[in-house]
Structure 1
Amino acid sequence: MKYLKYKGYTGSIEYSPEDNLMYGKVLGIKGLISYEGQTGKQLEEDFKEAVDTYLEDCKEENSKPEKPFKGSFNVRIPSSLHQQAALLAMETQTSLNSLVTEAIRFRISKEV
C-alpha cells in the first residue's frame, strides 16, 4: 500500500467505488484527521490541508500536536516466548528492545 507523507505525518489512501471518491486518515495518532478527493491530486491537497489545519488548531489551543509513531508500543506475547526472547537477549549481551527491533527490521526487510 502506498501512503501520503507530509510534515512527519503519514496518511492512508482508500477508494470508495460507491461514492467514486478517494479518502484517507492520518495514521499513527489517536486523533482523527481525515481527508478526501475525487482525484489523487485532490486527495493529496486535502491531506496536506488537513494536517496544516490540525497543526494550526493545536497552536491556537496552545496544545502539543500528537507525534505519530512515537517508537514505543506494548506487545502482548505468550510468557514462554517472552522468556525465550529475554534469555536470548541476555545470552547475546543485548537488550530485549534491541532484539525485538532487530526481529521487526528483519521481517520488514523480507516484505519490501
Structure 2
Amino acid sequence: MTTMHYKGYEAVVEFDEDAEIFHGEVINMRDVITFQGTSAGELKQALADSVEDYLAFCKQRGEEPEKPFSGQFVVRTEPSVHKAVSSAARREGVSLNKWVTQALERAVSHKVA
C-alpha cells in the first residue's frame, strides 16, 4: 500500500492483482472519494479528477466540501487520566497538547514499525 496526495487530500492505493488495476481511496475525511488507474500517471490523474469532481459536486449542491482533517479533535477521558497526563506534561516541561501529540506520534510510529 502506498499513499498519494492532492490539494491536501491523502489517499491510499492498492494493487488488485486479479483485475490488474490500482485502486485508491481518500482517507483523511469522512466522505468517500475513490479512483483507479492502470499506471502511475493514470492513477495521479484519476485522483486529481476524483477530487475535482467531488469539489464541483459540492459546489453544485451549494455545500461546503469536507476539508481534510484539521489536526484538532476532542478527547474525553477519566479525570484521573487527565490529571496524570497533565502532571506528566508538566514534569517534561511541555504543554498538555504537545505531550499528547508526542504520545500519539509514538503510538502510531510503533504500530507502523
Contact 2:23 2:36 in 1 (8 A): yes
Residue in structure 2 matched with residue 100 of structure 1 by the alignment: 100
* Partner residue, 1:16: 16
The alpha carbon displacement at 1:105 in A equals: 4.6
Change (3 A) 1:79 1:16: farther
Q: TM-score, normalised by structure 2?
A: 0.78
1:60 matches 2:66? no
In 1, the alpha carbon distance for the partners of 2:3 and 2:25 equals 10
Unaligned runs of 5+ in 2: none
Instruction: Determine the structure 2 residue equivalent to 1:3.
Output: 3
| Alpha-carbon offset, residue 74 of structure 1 | 5.0
Between the aligned partners of 1:16 and 1:79, the Cα distance in structure 2 is 47
Q: How many residues in Structure 1 have an aligned counterpart in Structure 2?
A: 112
Mapped contact 2:36–2:46 kept (Cα < 8 A): yes
Q: C-alpha deviations, 1:44-79, integer Å up to 9, x for none? A: 111100000001111111111111122123557787
Q: Give the CA deviation at 1:25.
A: 0.4
| TM-score normalised by structure 1 residue count | 0.78
In structure 1, the residue corresponding to 2:2 is in which secondary structure?
A: coil
Which shows bigger deviation, 23-32 or 69-78? 69-78
Compute the displacement of 1:88 (Å): 1.4
Task: Give distance in 1, aligned partners of 2:80 and 2:38.
Answer: 50
